[in-house]
Each structure stands twice: as C-alpha cells, then as structure tokens.
Structure 1
Amino acid sequence: MNIILFGPPGAGKGTQAKKLQDEYSIPHLSTGDIFRAAIKNKTPLGVKVKSILDSGELVPDQTVVDLVADELSNDKYQDGYILDGFPRTVVQAEAFDAFLDKNNDSLDAFISLSVPEDELVKRILSRGEGRTDDTVEKVKTRLEVYRKETQPVMEHYKKQDKVQEIDGIGSIDEIFGRIKAALQ
C-alpha cells in the first residue's frame, strides 16, 4: 500500500505515520530523514543537498524528487510506504506521478489531515522542540507558505480522485481510527 500523509505543520503526520507503519508493516519515509541520511552518508545527492542547504537555499524540486526516487528504489519499499513531507509542490507531485508510471506503480491513498489554524499554532508551540522559528508569528508564516506552495498538491490529487480528508482533531487513536477506516 502506497500512502501520502498530507497536512500542514502540526497536523500530526509524523505521529500518524508511525502508527500506520506499525499497523500495516510498511516503512515511513520522511524527506527530512532522507536528507539527513544522504548528507550523513555523503552520497552524491547528499553532498549536493548539503551545499544547497549550507548556502541557505531551498532544495530544488528535481533534487527532492531524485532523492525520494533513489530511496524508493530500496527493496524495503517493495510492499509499500508512507510518504510524509513529499510531495511539497505540484512540480514534485507531477514528477512523482511520472516516477510511479515509469515503475508500473500507483498511489493507493492520499490522506489529508485537516486541523484548524488556531489548533495548529497551539500544537506547534506546545511541542517543545525548541525551534528558533516557533513563535506565533513565525508559525503563522510557515502555515502561510504551506497554504501557498503545498496546499495545491491536494488539488492535484483530488483530480485523480485519491484524496481522503480526515478530521485531525481528537485523540491520536481517534484520528488513527478515521485514517484506518478511510484506507478500507
């Protein structure tokens, strides 16, 4: 089962991805984790990403797609995966669609966690991760960037009739129950 877990910062994607991984025995793939591993292992793409990030730039869409495609070629993803943090742009979504076509594969579900903005801000500020950008103003800016750049990805997958919108309010287990029901 190939799943994209989608939603704004603070929606609970990482938490739910872990539960999905445990429930369905398929690996969770986070682009942040891929970046960190590629950089740590000094792969050619990792070296490229590190130099981009060190210069303060955003990683170009094609580089992100190349990293994900490279990771998905690993045998451990043969029986499915949960993508979290990818695709972030429509360009990435289109490239991912092409990757799936080329590999005679398909996306089984696009799970979008819906959470009101005031709740997202509260969650992010209470996570205690100590990010320097975790102020109300900075969180709202991150959410605005999400709305402008990432939200259109959901429209892309709505056209393919893949989107399942899930109410992201409630206990972790209540939300997980809604996700499992949507995957049936």
Structure 2
Amino acid sequence: MRLIFLGPPGAGKGTQAKLLTERHGIPQLSTGDMLRAAVAAQTEVGKRAKAVMDAGQLVSDAIVNEIVSDRIDSADCSKGFILDGYPRTVPQAQALDQILAGKGLGLDAVIELKVDERALLKRMESRVAETIAAGGTVRQDDKPEVLERRLAEYREKTAPLSEYYASTGKLKTIDGMADVKAVTAEIDRILA
C-alpha cells in the first residue's frame, strides 16, 4: 500500500496516517523526519542537505527527492508507506513518479482531505482559547495568523497537486470535516 495524503494544515492527515500505520504496519514518511534522519545518519545526501541548511538555504527538490528515494528503499517500506508532506509541488510529484517507476513501483492512491478553511480557522481559534483557559502554552503552529499563512502557501504551491493526481486517476477526495471515524471508514472503503 503506497499512499499520499493531501490536504491543508489541520485537515487531519497526520491523524489518519497514524491510524493506517497502526493497522497496516506501514510507515508514515514525513519529509522533515526523513531529512533529519539523513543528516543524523551522515549519508552522502544527508551531508549535502546539512551543508545547505547550515548555509541558511532551503534544501533543493533534487536533494529532497533523493532522500525520499533512499527512504523508500528501507526494509520497513517493503509493504508500503504513507507520504505526508511530500510531494509539495507538481515538479516533486513528477519526480516521485519517476523514482517509483525506476523501482518498479506505483502509487495505490492519493487521498485528499477536503476541508472548509473558515471552519479550520474557527477550530484552531477554539483550540487556542481552550489551551489558554487550561493554563497551557499555545504552539506557534496553532496561532490563527500562522495557520492563515500556511493555508495561503498550501493553496498556492500544493493545491495544484489535486489536478495533477486527478489527471492520473489516482486522486480520491474525502470530506475532511467529517468526524475522525467517518473519515477513517471512507479511507478504508477507498483502499478495499
């Protein structure tokens, strides 16, 4: 089972990926985690990534693609994987297609969690208010202004992936505003 989860921040991708990981024994592959692991392991590509990051620059698509390719070759990915946060752009998606084809693999599905952005912002504002009322510390990611900026970036850079994957017939869209169990049931139905 090789999957990609698409959807804006706060759509529930991480929650659903975790549930699938637990049920099917396949890893959730986060770009940030893969990048940190490659740097820590001091792989050749990890060393190149570290040099770029140490210079205060963004890691190039070529380096990210190579890190993803290496990670997919890991033994724990032999039954499949869930990509979360990659690809972020159509060129990355095209590179992923080439990487997988070169390994004799393909994607089983691209699952997009559609959400109402206004409802997401209200949900986030409620969570912030609850955290403050409970005396907790609000995470930087949970601040509404940060979420608004991340949503705008998603619309600009990542949303075009929907059209790309729809054209391949791999895109399956789910109402991400439904409760967790309903979303999980719909994902299971798609994957059956």
Shift of 1:37: 1.4
2:177 is aligned to: 169
Q: Which protein is bigger by CA-based radius of gyration?
A: 2
C-alpha distance 123-73 of structure 1, shift in aligned 2 (>3 A): farther
Shift of 1:164: 0.4
Shift of 1:50: 2.9
1:149 is aligned to: 157
2:73 is aligned to: 73
Shift of 1:103: 1.1
1:109 correspondence with 2:117:
no
Equivalent position SS for 1:4: strand
> What amino acid sits opposite 1:12 in the alignment?
G
Shift of 1:124: 4.6
2:168 is aligned to: 160
Shift of 1:136: 2.4
Distance, in Å, in 2 between the alignment partners of 1:9 and 1:103 is 30
1:50 is aligned to: 50
**Structure 1 length-normalised TM:** 0.90
Distance, in Å, in 2 between the alignment partners of 1:6 and 1:49 is 25
Q: Return 5+ residue gaps in structure 1 as ranges.
A: none
Q: How does 1:120-135 map to 2 (within 5 A)?
A: 120-124=120-124, 126=127, 130-132=138-140, 134-135=142-143
Encode CA deviations 1:114-139: one digit per residue, 9 max, x unaligned.
11112322445537684435432332
Shift of 1:154: 1.6
2:33 is aligned to: 33
C-alpha contact (below 8 Å) 1:7/1:113 kept by paired residues: yes
1:180 to 167, 171, 188: 188
Shift of 1:174: 1.6
Distance, in Å, in 2 between the alignment partners of 1:110 and 1:122 is 27
The RMSD of aligned alpha carbons is: 1.9
1:18 is aligned to: 18
Aligned length: 184
Q: Return 5+ residue gaps in structure 2 as ranges.
A: 132-136
